[in-house]
Structure 1
């Protein structure tokens, strides 16, 4: 939180003195990072809570909400930056005078903020590994820190390149070079932010988990179900935040007591916990699976 707030303040101040839209956008990315860290801290704590009467399916879904709305806010910033840059270029083509860049404040900004991004990335990566790579909040934050560093580096190369070659082959684009850099940077990150947004939406919509997770779950339950003597009719895996819900549709073949199904559920829970750190296993006694056909 402190690192992102520092970078946001540095970006806004440096943008004011340098007149650079690219640096302002970089600072606003950090400001969103600070805001999301405030909420992400609470979400990460809630995600570890057990189901209760208020949230019968637990609190893991808060992570999916967080990643979805964080990605949406970043997409909004990217669209805003693209619009402003396009308007600046259109104004230049129509003969409007453009504000001249001041390069002196840029050098210190790029060095300090670049090092801060590297430190944040290392901090988030270390914390994410401590969770067993289960926290979607930390996964998104470490990715955001890496992207922020890449954006800062690319902006540095572009803006300083414009400064050094302003009297050479870059002379024709110098007045709108800052806007062009903003467009290039936004085009680079918008695809990743859109993917993160769609991934969060799919989780909230209850979409199936990745094929490799489904295959791993099937392999894990196969031997236990075979030894129980019944038949696996169907299996579904859905992901919500760091939590997985695994539905096992099972035909025990013979009449059985509820205690047998409870014991089977506990056995499957043990087998699957070696693959999924946070999960719920639900055994549904059925001869047809997830879609019941009328008799």
Structure 2
């Protein structure tokens, strides 16, 4: 997510490491603070726009009787409530670990994105069922003129918010903002489709094809839900995989493995096992390096030098990252489940 966490972790590490200067750490700390503020303000803007569009949608629904507008309004109001939690989580994710949360707060990001996906999915299914029932019962009359005005407002507002999310990603690599950006892009497409459909209603009324008008709203809701249903499913699925500690996609995992191999290229090893998970913005990498019993220097100083080399190489291809490197001469401790579920190697 936010480069705030990246810079903050870097500054803490660099202030403690004699290889880096204090001024460099201070620069990255300040950069992190700026990034954190950018993320918080961007998410606050997203929440405000969701609330504004949601209230406008509910108001327009009362006047136009459009279920498509009701869907849009409910969607944004629900998203507003989740956005308030998102802002809190973005601040938590930028903190270092604590006694209560020894692995940090990044899992909260995955949890929030899972909730977002499930909420959007639930509202979509509710709207789909309601639209099918309305379609089978003869459709519903809507006030097309007011609906067009709302749809135009929603399209412009959603497009503006998506653009702001996109601009913010230049300054903060936040998965929360990335999820919000995806939401607003989908919302923009939905609003544009609603606008086009309501313009079609006006056109049909002008052409005296009034028998088709009651069905436009229900057909529109069904089409929008079917076309966009994959978005919340993918969002929830990805977040669930992160919560279940699934290895991240190869686009992230492969460069990390290559970086570790490069860092250990000059070291004689018996076996190297790399495990990684990515909850939210943080990549956690566990490296077990099995060294031969003889012929290799295993002093603490030598091990720390290897750790620093591996950490440096991994950070070149991904950040923020926590990289734990464990050295052992027994493959038992590098095996799955630390060897507790398999027989001892001989």
Q: TM-score, normalised by structure 2?
A: 0.78
Shift of 1:166: 4.5
Contact 2:204-2:212 at 8 Å conserved across structures: no
Q: Of the candidates 211, 217, 235, which is equivalent to residue 178 of structure 1? A: 217
Distance 2:206 2:160 in 1: 36
Equivalent in the alignment of 2:237: 198
Distance 1:259 1:128 in 2: 40
Q: Check if 1:256 corresponds to 2:298.
A: yes
Shift of 1:184: 0.6
Distance 1:216 1:42 in 2: 32
What SS does the corresponding residue of 2:278 show, helix, strand or coil?
strand
Residues 140-167 of structure 1: CA distance to partner in whole angstroms, max 9, x if unpaired?
A: 0111111111100001112221331257
Equivalent in the alignment of 2:87: 41
Equivalent in the alignment of 1:58: 104
When structure 1 is superposed on structure 2, of 17-26 and 113-122 the one drifting more is 113-122
Contact 2:49-2:161 at 8 Å conserved across structures: yes
Distance 1:62 1:265 in 2: 28
What number of residue pairs does the alignment pair up?
A: 288
Residues 81 and 262 of structure 1, relative CA distance in 2, 3 Å threshold: same
Gaps spanning 5+ residues in structure 1: where?
Answer: 93-97
Q: Check if 1:207 corresponds to 2:265.
A: no
Shift of 1:262: 3.2
What SS does the corresponding residue of 2:169 show, helix, strand or coil?
helix
What SS does the corresponding residue of 1:235 show, helix, strand or coil?
strand
Distance 2:238 2:97 in 1: 24
Gaps spanning 5+ residues in structure 2: where?
Answer: 1-46
What SS does the corresponding residue of 2:283 show, helix, strand or coil?
strand
Residues 32 and 151 of structure 1, relative CA distance in 2, 3 Å threshold: same
Residues 55-92 of structure 1: CA distance to partner in whole angstroms, max 9, x if unpaired?
A: 11111111101100111111110011011111112222
Q: Check if 1:161 corresponds to 2:200.
A: yes
Distance 2:317 2:96 in 1: 19
Contact 1:29-1:148 at 8 Å conserved across structures: no
Q: Of the candidates 89, 92, 97, which is equivalent to residue 135 of structure 2? A: 89
What SS does the corresponding residue of 2:170 show, helix, strand or coil?
helix
What's the RMSD between the two structures over aligned residues?
2.0
When structure 1 is superposed on structure 2, of 194-203 and 273-282 the one drifting more is 273-282
Contact 1:17-1:102 at 8 Å conserved across structures: yes
